[in-house]
Amino acid sequence: MVTFDDVLPTLVRVIEESSVAATIRRAGVVRDLEGRVRLIIEPDPSQPIPDMSALEQALVQALQRWIEPPLLMTTDLREPGRLARALMGKSNIQWPDARYVQSSTLQEVPATPGRWNKIERRLSKYDWVRDERATPPWPLREGSPPIVTFYSFKGGVGRTTLLASCAWQLAELGKKVVVVDLDVEAPGLSALFEVESRRGVVDFLVDFIGTGQIDMDGLVSAPGSLGPLKGNIEVVTAGNLDERYFEKLSRLDFIGGGLLDVKGESPVERGLRHLLGALRGRQADYIFIDSRAGLHDIAGLSLHGLAHVDVFVSRASEQGYRGLELTLQALGRRKKVDDLLCVVAHSLAPPDPASQEAKIEEEEFLKRAYRAFDQSLYGKLPESPQLEDDEEPHWPKVIRRHPLLERLTHLGAAREVLFSEGYKQLLERIVELCEPEEDVESTSEEGIQ
């Protein structure tokens, strides 16, 4: 049986080893939501148009139900040909890493350079699989607040508490921080900061998607939990959790566009960029995003499309290690090592740093974090950083377990813990990474003015 993983390499092999391969200038693959593929052929104009019937039969025999005949030819003057030409005319569908297993050698080899294009139709997770370079809503430069995303692959590891600690520390330093709750399916910022609001992120998005208008009325609130410092923190909650919240949440479109709109922003991404643009005008020093845990669409968008700085929060567990590896693989496709501004937080570490348990766990966490970075990012460098280099992104900031945080309902009751050494070191690293870039290139800011 041909499986999903076999489809693309098999298709490429059949084309590359066919008798008509030399007459094909470009080949385009369109894969639909169910994984089936359709092939577009653009013949070499310097050669006679080939008869593709034998090639079509070979593809059907090799791929069975995974391929949808007939082949679409750009030379066809009818409607299918018009669609084929329109798809092949897209400028952002090149597939430079197309590969296949050669029949004669059984070795994996690259396909003919410049020949292959690919369009993927996906139901979700677009920001986890796309390859285009990540572009935050504005450059990291003087006068514009850096956007910092707090992300965890697994929930319940203290991500939101870490965000709250960093925001609180900055508030005490006289900085203004806007915190945005994008954990829309399990919101927690409103309770932690003791915020009551009429509207939140979900309300803003559905209103913007429906009308195209930016409505900030009732969206930004002051926390009730920090007393005189509450003026330095502004909170945008996920929304008012009443029976209407489900209806609004069910209308968030993370894909959007049609077959010809391969790279366009989804309605949610467009809305969030406008929201961040409006928050930028509130003269904040930092914008913190509390992201959804796991491989959620909004987590991928927060990490890969919106943030200048990423904070990865994980406990020492096999699930956490694999989540970090997977996250870095996705980020490695969209960011170069120099672009990846991130810090790893080793949360829920043993409370006594001198204990044997703590030493063993922290050593293992460091090794696994280094391996994750090395596999996805360091390997692209002429020389990889050393494991012991505590200035590199793989070096974790250790956040220790404390019983006071297990049932935390009010920030003020845990000030001593949330200002302890691990939390301070984490914030110091975040602030370092948020320093404005020098000679930054102009980044598109359309639609966020």
Looking at residue 171, its pLDDT comes to: 95
- Residue 95 or residue 127, greater confidence: 95
pLDDT tens digit sequence for 82-96: 999 998 988 678 999
Of the candidates 300, 341, 338, 316, the one whose C-alpha atom is nearest the C-alpha of residue 433 is 341
Query: What span, in angstroms and rounded, lies between the C-alpha atoms of 194 and 174?
Result: 21
Query: For residue 35, how many other CB atoms are within 10 A of its CB?
Result: 13
> For 128-433, CATH number?
3.40.50.300
Given the DSSP bridges, would you call strands 24-31 and 116-120 parallel, antiparallel or unpaired? Answer: parallel
- Residue 440 or residue 289, greater confidence: 289
Asked if residues 50 and 20 have their Cβ atoms less than 8 Å apart, the reply is yes
Looking at residue 447, its pLDDT comes to: 42
Residue 341: which H helix or E strand, with range?
Answer: strand 341-349
Of the candidates 391, 311, 389, 313, the one whose C-alpha atom is nearest the C-alpha of residue 349 is 313
Averaged pLDDT of the chain: 89
Phi/psi for 194 (5° steps) reads 55, 65
Query: What span, in angstroms and rounded, lies between the C-alpha atoms of 86 and 167?
Result: 49
Burial class (CB in 10 A: 0-12, 13-18, 19+), 28: buried
Q: What is the mean pLDDT of residues 108-118?
A: 95
Of the candidates 319, 301, 321, 318, the one whose C-alpha atom is nearest the C-alpha of residue 310 is 301
Task: Report domain extents, the chain.
Answer: 4-121, 128-433
- Residue 355 or residue 242, greater confidence: 355
Query: What span, in angstroms and rounded, lies between the C-alpha atoms of 214 and 235?
Result: 17
Residue 311: which H helix or E strand, with range?
Answer: strand 309-314
- Cα 286-404-188 angle, rounded to 5 deg: 45
Those residues whose C-beta lies under 8 Å from the C-beta of residue 438, and which sit 6 or more positions away, are none
pLDDT tens digit sequence for 56-82: 999 999 999 999 999 999 999 999 899
- Cα 222-223-228 angle, rounded to 5 deg: 90
Those residues whose C-beta lies under 8 Å from the C-beta of residue 38, and which sit 6 or more positions away, are 29, 30, 32, 67, 68, 72
Going by the DSSP 8-state scheme, the letter that residue 107 receives in this structure is: -
Helix, coil or strand: residue 290: strand
Residue type at position 346: H
Going by the DSSP 8-state scheme, the letter that residue 112 receives in this structure is: P
Could you tell me the CA-to-CA distances from 223 to 159, 185, 189 in Å, in that order?
A: 18, 21, 10
pLDDT tens digit sequence for 2-18: 899 999 999 999 999 99
Query: What span, in angstroms and rounded, lies between the C-alpha atoms of 449 and 445?
Result: 7
Asked if residues 408 and 161 have their Cβ atoms less than 8 Å apart, the reply is yes
Going by the DSSP 8-state scheme, the letter that residue 266 receives in this structure is: P
Query: What span, in angstroms and rounded, lies between the C-alpha atoms of 300 and 5?
Result: 23
Looking at residue 257, its pLDDT comes to: 56
Q: What is the mean pLDDT of residues 305-310?
A: 92
pTM for this structure? 0.81
Residue with token string 């430069």: 141
Helix, coil or strand: residue 37: strand
Q: What is the mean pLDDT of residues 195-217?
A: 90
pLDDT tens digit sequence for 404-441: 888 777 787 888 999 999 999 999 999 999 999 765 45
Q: What is the mean pLDDT of residues 240-253?
A: 86
First to last CA, the chain: 53
